[in-house]
Structure 1
Amino acid sequence: MSKRDLGKRAPAVFESFLDGRDAHLHPDDRAEAAEFWNWLGELERPGPAPTRHRPVWVVRALAASVAVLAVFGGTLWMTHPMPTRETLQSVATGHAERRRIALSDGSVVTLAADSRVDIAYLAGERRLRLISGEALFRVAHDKSRPFVVETRHGDVVAVGTMFDVSVGKREAEVTVVEGVVRVALSEPGRRGSAEPIEKLAHKGERLSFGVMTSTRGDTGFIRQAADIDADSAVAWTRGRLVFQGEPLSEVIVEVNRYAKDRLILTDPRAANIPVYGIVNQGDTAAIRELIANPRAVAVEPRTP
């Protein structure tokens, strides 16, 4: 490895290098970036636009790895002569689709309908970004490589466990099926706070987290939600939906992700009615049987 220290310039240097805009880089900077990229596993380098660029969160992760190597490069090179290759992948599901993703370390991701996850495996970290929807993560134990699920509302960190993450418009939710996870808020939620906002969740616990925006600024929050049976939390992976008091408006959204027809709310006054019961995914008729006023919802054909 080169002994040249990129320091604070590392993010800018690597962003230019990965995006194919390295012509203006200092020759030594370009050589350092190229050598580190080859050290990761001699992957094909992305070309110039309009090639899809690697997201900034991946570039920052690479830059962080460079900063570590700049200090401990010799030791790491001797200790890990065959470094783990970087894995970049984006997986999305369509309407009424579930997908099982087996990762290289033995971890497994089950992706719900209308969901998307980006995967970036680096030598020292396993990082995934849940862009939308919901996913169940069964994590292979590896203390040397933390497993991080990033959402726009905050991060969930685990070493070896199984947990479910759902991303909504205003907040995200994590349910721990096995083990322990740590929830840490995204940077906007940390403003004005001396310490990061973090909380541990254990098996059977459910946390909601996010950032509330008001005229006074951004305020991060992590709150304990109602605990749930672990089996119920992952029932969607077996074609079932379990509702334990969720408002009707949210239930409709969840059912519509799998239904051939479309369930609509006809009475806005019923939007917050709690719903309890177990239904098959996509069974719109069953929802009408779970509420006191079936006329509050209607079923209509889904337009192509």
Structure 2
Amino acid sequence: MPAPQPLSDLSDDALDWQVLLHSGNASEADRVRYQRWRQLSPAHTEAAREAEALWGDLGQTQAAAQLTAAAPRRRRWGSALAASLVLALVGYGGWQQAPALLADYHTSVGQQQRITLADGSQVLLNSGSALSVDFSDGQRRLMLKAGEALFEPASDPRPFVVEAGGESVQGSGAVFSVRRDGSHNRVVIAKGEAQLGERRLQATADAGALTAWQRGKLIFNGKPLREVLAELERYQHGRIVLSDQQLGAMQVSGVFDLNDPQGLLRTLEQRYALKVTYLPWLAVVY
């Protein structure tokens, strides 16, 4: 007799069903299959009820009520919000599980880790990051599989090379950070110079602000709110969603303390007269 499916897996499956059923692409056959899945066992039924209740609760919040009463553009956003919440719940628990499981070092969301490599080099992993190391007699090679890291290579005749998303940064004589943003990389030179492909990179003018996370700070100077929220999201569990994309253009300046992740949005509320409604794994800014 097969072992019962773990409850956590059932919850994920139930949320997957909600995503499908509310996507606008579900067929009648899909709805029949869902009802059959729902009746497979009492545990399946309970997982389905919890997922349905979570979806239904979205319409009961103040933010959702305001969005429903607003212009059609905002009503469309309300549907996207619901989908965003469920997708966050389904996928966020394992922030990028494959890179983390295959990496030598990794951090969870909101965590940082300092690593001393075999040659004495120092690496600081930022929130939600994964790194693998491959040292040989001829080269010191590191692979940034996800997230962001700050590198301080030790003096050594072997090249110090960081690979990320198909690009290589050689920075034996530099202090630098590499960040993976989807299919793009951002390299910040804090000290010295490095080689990125055919380009030679020197110390970045705003390196202090861009690497302030190593000191537990985030620094913004006239950044659009949408970019600020995207950055804050990297340091806390769940999604942060703007109710109005026009609001996202508002410029934000300030210094935020990463030691108090829950206080980041409260600071924005106080300084910029914003409102935030908190849902499970989701914050709505309006």
Partner of 2:10: none
Q: 1:241 to 1:298 in 2, by over 3 A?
A: farther
Question: How many aligned residue pairs are there?
Answer: 178
- Asked if the contact 1:140/1:161 (under 8 Å) is kept, the reply is no
| CA distance, structure 2, for counterparts of residue 132 and residue 106 of structure 1 | 23
| CA distance, structure 1, for counterparts of residue 266 and residue 279 of structure 2 | 11
Q: 1:287 to 1:170 in 2, by over 3 A?
A: farther
- Asked if the contact 2:103/2:130 (under 8 Å) is kept, the reply is no
- Asked if the contact 2:150/2:177 (under 8 Å) is kept, the reply is yes
Matched AA of 1:141 = S
| CA distance, structure 2, for counterparts of residue 245 and residue 257 of structure 1 | 19
| CA distance, structure 2, for counterparts of residue 262 and residue 289 of structure 1 | 20
Matched AA of 1:159 = S
Partner of 2:186: 173
Long gaps (5+) in structure 2: 1-98
- Match runs of 1:88-127 below 5 Å: 90-127=104-141
- The superposition leaves residues 255-303 of structure 1 with CA deviations (integer Å, 9 ceiling, x where unpaired) of 1232367532121223344432211122221233454x624x6444437
CA-based RMSD of the aligned residues comes to 2.5
Identity over the aligned pairs, expressed in percent? 33
The alignment partner of 2:266 has SS state of helix
- Asked if the contact 2:108/2:128 (under 8 Å) is kept, the reply is yes
1:286 pairs with 2:267:
yes
Q: 1:252 to 1:302 in 2, by over 3 A?
A: same
| CA distance, structure 1, for counterparts of residue 139 and residue 223 of structure 2 | 35
Greater share of helix residues, 1 or 2?
Answer: 2
- The superposition leaves residues 32-72 of structure 1 with CA deviations (integer Å, 9 ceiling, x where unpaired) of xxxxxxxxxxxxxxxxxxxxxxx9xxxxxxxxxxxxxxxxx
Q: 1:240 to 1:154 in 2, by over 3 A?
A: same
| CA distance, structure 2, for counterparts of residue 245 and residue 127 of structure 1 | 37
Within the candidate set 219, 242, 248, 1:265 is matched to 242
| CA distance, structure 1, for counterparts of residue 136 and residue 218 of structure 2 | 35
- The superposition leaves residues 191-219 of structure 1 with CA deviations (integer Å, 9 ceiling, x where unpaired) of xxxxxxx211112x2xxxxxxxxxxxxxx
Partner of 1:200: 200
- Asked if the contact 1:263/1:298 (under 8 Å) is kept, the reply is no
* More RCO (CA 8 Å, sep 6+): 2
- Tell which deviates more after alignment, 107-116 or 268-277: 268-277
- The superposition leaves residues 87-138 of structure 1 with CA deviations (integer Å, 9 ceiling, x where unpaired) of x961111111111111011111100111111111111111111111111111
- Match runs of 1:70-219 below 5 Å: 90-142=104-156, 144-184=157-197, 198-203=198-203, 205=204
- Asked if the contact 1:153/1:171 (under 8 Å) is kept, the reply is no
Structure 1 position 232, deviation (Å): 2.4
The alignment partner of 1:253 has SS state of helix
Partner of 1:302: 281
- Asked if the contact 2:228/2:252 (under 8 Å) is kept, the reply is yes
Partner of 1:82: none
The alignment partner of 1:173 has SS state of strand
With the length of structure 2 as denominator, give the TM-score of the two structures: 0.56
| CA distance, structure 2, for counterparts of residue 272 and residue 153 of structure 1 | 32
| CA distance, structure 2, for counterparts of residue 260 and residue 152 of structure 1 | 24
With the length of structure 1 as denominator, give the TM-score of the two structures: 0.53
The alignment partner of 2:104 has SS state of strand
Long gaps (5+) in structure 1: 1-54, 56-87, 185-197, 206-226
Matched AA of 2:187 = V
Partner of 1:25: none
Matched AA of 2:199 = K
